[in-house]
Amino acid sequence: MLIHIEVQGEPETAFAERMYTYHYKIRDRYQVPVASLAVLADTDRGFRPQQYSTALWDCRMDFRFPMVKLLDSTQPKRWAELEASDNVFALVVMAQIRAKVTDDAETLKGWKFRLIRLMYERGYARALILELFRLIDWMIRLPAGLEADFRQQLYAYEEQQCMPYVTTVEQAGIQQGEATILLAQLQEKFGPDSVDTYRERITAAEPEQLLQWSKRILSAETPETIFH
């Protein structure tokens, strides 16, 4: 048998038909029983496709499939079950839900730190923590200023726990990401010429310096006032 899992991030009118199409194509290709499951990661509570039917004259086809709506896990009881679960994927589900339903960036920053902290508290292996960190960090995006604050909060927590996994292993990647964010901000606010002028200085800077510049750009009237 084969298991077909379709993760859908946004409502789609033809989703149920596509589920049927994928199901029969997989079955036709491999000639084995197929179970299809839909995981709905959108924020539309009314979007709950579970079957596709079509008919012509006396010929009828009715395809039904199980569906899981991640949004349902925001209910207190379901959310408590996720937080209590020792299943690694529960953290990924929580990150996806919070990224979708949380509008306030400051609140989202708090959730991001809380989920990352759970990894350490559960005693996951170092390699697993780094993989989960990359995934959660990609799923929960913050404005540049709040992202810098989150990083500093995380570094302080790591030092307190004597587990400098992200700071030591991920530092190069994080620094590169922070430099990329600052360059994008610079271009958006002051144009491409400013990026050409300061690119080398930004890419060579230490994380602490990048943090200071990221904060200054919010109120800077000229590029020069950022880098003085």
Q: Which residue has the higher pLDDT, 181 or 13?
A: 13
Beta pairing, strands 34-40 & 67-69: parallel
Q: How confident is the model at residue 111 (pLDDT cuts 50, 70, 90)?
A: very high
pLDDT at 7: 92
- What's the whole-model pTM score? 0.63
3-state DSSP call for residue 61? strand
3-state DSSP call for residue 65? coil
pLDDT(169) > 50: no
With CA atoms as reference, report the closest residue to 209 among 221, 200, 201. 201
Q: Mean per-residue pLDDT for 49-78?
A: 94
CA distance between the termini of the chain? 64
Q: How confident is the model at residue 220 (pLDDT cuts 50, 70, 90)?
A: confident
* Highest-pLDDT range among 110-119, 126-135, 163-172: 110-119
pLDDT(195) > 90: no
Strands (E), the chain: 2-8, 34-40, 51-56, 59-64, 67-69
